[in-house]
Amino acid sequence: MTTTPRTFDAVDVIRTKRDGGRLSDAAIDWVIAAYTRGVVADEQMAALTMAILLNGMDRAEIARWTAAMVASGDRMDVAGLRRDGRVLRTVDKHSTGGVGDKITLPLGPLVAAFGVAVPQLSGRGLGHTGGTLDKLEAIPGWRAELSTDALMAQLRDVGAVVAAAGPGLAPADARLYALRDVTGTVEAIPLIASSIMSKKIAEGTSALVLDVKVGSGAFMKTIDDARELARTMVDLGADAGVRTVALLTDMSTPLGLTAGNALEVAEAVEVLAGGGPADVVELTLALAREMLDAAGVTDADPAAALADGRAMDVWRRMIAAQGGDPDAPLPVAKETETVVAPASGTLARLDALGVGVAAWRLGAGRARKEDPVQAGAGITLHARPGDTVTAGQPLLTLHTDTPEAFGRAREALDGAVEVTPDGAPGTAGRGRPADRSIVLERVARP
């Protein structure tokens, strides 16, 4: 796609969408290219993204917007990788973000254990949702920034890589994401879909599995919104020649028993060692099966690769290849504080958003992209919804290097924990008990 000559005015483009009209292909090409070059000002793009949030886009508009963002920068070709003279099958995974979502860490090595290349270009956390790169940077020596040549070499040698996207990959998205975050337009489904898919299409993978979170700790609060986002991204992938499938997964309560960078790394290593919380294992295996199927590997047993150590072997090689020491002790916070059950009964609710905000305030996350994070900060969970608890029993342990943060973290947890007397009505469906599947729906092209 070539850059359209300047035949538009930003105000006219804004007015078109403000008034409920559809943007032409030429207008979309122009506004994305002009914004990337700095011709369209931030305040003008902010107005346009708000108009998109309020009035939406049709499928053709979203597809063109995504293609324009891909065209704003470089393209990779991970699908053309070869090992021992044969083309490697490639598949990527993306999560829309949640609380305690450490699935990328065990998932990439697990799928790579079956000879599939797994390139995962990930990001850092902002707000209450954790970032994969922040988690891995808790490992001493590990580095996120890799050149394209180094990334491709690691895929050939190890089979799995988690790295930061280079500045040349969909640069329009980098500018737009930062703008959306400070203008209240992050939740616009067309912009979420195009943001995610532009980077994945530019990466050049041949298949993609999406983990679309739904619930209080996710950007998509309702199943209908999550389904719409999933269908939009699946369609965008198909239109670009990327085999794409999505799972809608529950984010009403935190995933696993930890939220925080080093804490989540330790939990991911437990999964790779054949243990770990049941919900983390369930989702890791569900996504692994989808990824292997998308890559054309239909006779694999990912559970066996966790049990026999093959996935752990790939993890150790992946971490070492990026300068990390897989045997080094992980950072530990200097201070801890315990939150106890307020009464005896059933833990009916442990709200993901409240836990995520509390972990963020303890230092596990950042308010601005420039802010540092504490590697050891976060929250350990000692009970799950559906568990029987006793008054005074530890429910959560808060970890931080800055004890003055405990007060604000506790404020975030006000109303996030609910214990009901055993046998009381209304205790069902308030969280995700252990006997309820984390996978809610599967979305794919017919």
Interval 124-144: pLDDT, tens: 776 778 789 999 999 999 999
Asked if 408 and 423 count as a contact pair (C-beta separation under 8 A), the reply is no
User: Is 94 one of the catalytic residues?
Assistant: yes
Structural domains in the chain plus CATH codes: 10-56 (1.20.970.10), 78-328+438-444 (3.40.1030.10), 335-420 (3.90.1170.30)
88: tokens are 């490697």
- Over residues 39-58, the mean pLDDT reads 96
Better-scored residue on pLDDT, 274 or 367: 274
User: Is 199 one of the catalytic residues?
Assistant: yes
Q: Would you give the end-to-end CA distance of the chain in angstroms? A: 28
Residues 92, 101, 134, 173: which is the catalytic one? 173
pLDDT at residue 376 greater than cutoff 50: yes
Residues 89, 124, 135, 199: which is the catalytic one? 199
Q: What pLDDT does residue 435 have? A: 63
User: Is 195 one of the catalytic residues?
Assistant: yes
Write b or e for each residue in 404-429: b if 16 or more Cβ atoms lie within 10 A of its Cβ, otherwise e.
Answer: ebbeebeebbeebbbbbeeeeeebee
Asked if 263 and 138 count as a contact pair (C-beta separation under 8 A), the reply is no
331 contact partners, CB below 8 Å, separation of at least 6:
138, 262, 375, 376
pLDDT at residue 434 greater than cutoff 60: no
User: Is 399 one of the catalytic residues?
Assistant: no
pLDDT at residue 182 greater than cutoff 90: no
Asked if 200 and 241 count as a contact pair (C-beta separation under 8 A), the reply is no
291: tokens are 């990824």
The rounded distance, in Å, linking the Cα atoms of 128 and 113 is 32
pLDDT at residue 296 greater than cutoff 50: yes
pLDDT mean across residues, the chain: 92
pLDDT at residue 430 greater than cutoff 80: no
Q: What pLDDT does residue 370 have? A: 73
Residues 94, 102, 124, 384: which is the catalytic one? 94
- Over residues 390-407, the mean pLDDT reads 97
The rounded distance, in Å, linking the Cα atoms of 203 and 120 is 9
Helix residue ranges per DSSP H, 158-295: 171-183, 189-203, 223-239, 261-272, 278-294
Q: What pLDDT does residue 428 have? A: 42
- Over residues 310-322, the mean pLDDT reads 98
440 three-class SS = strand
Least confident of 142-146, 189-193, 201-205, 313-317: 201-205
Least confident of 28-37, 46-55, 366-375, 420-429: 420-429
Better-scored residue on pLDDT, 386 or 127: 386
- Over residues 358-363, the mean pLDDT reads 96
Binned at pLDDT 50, 70 and 90, residue 365 comes out as: confident
In 3D space, the residue among 363, 367, 388 whose CA is nearest the CA of residue 376 turns out to be 363
- Over residues 153-163, the mean pLDDT reads 95
Q: Write out pLDDT tens, residues 233-257.
A: 999 999 999 999 999 999 999 999 9
| Other Cβ atoms within 10 Å of 41 Cβ, number | 12
pLDDT at residue 425 greater than cutoff 70: no
pLDDT at residue 359 greater than cutoff 90: yes
Q: What pLDDT does residue 181 have? A: 77
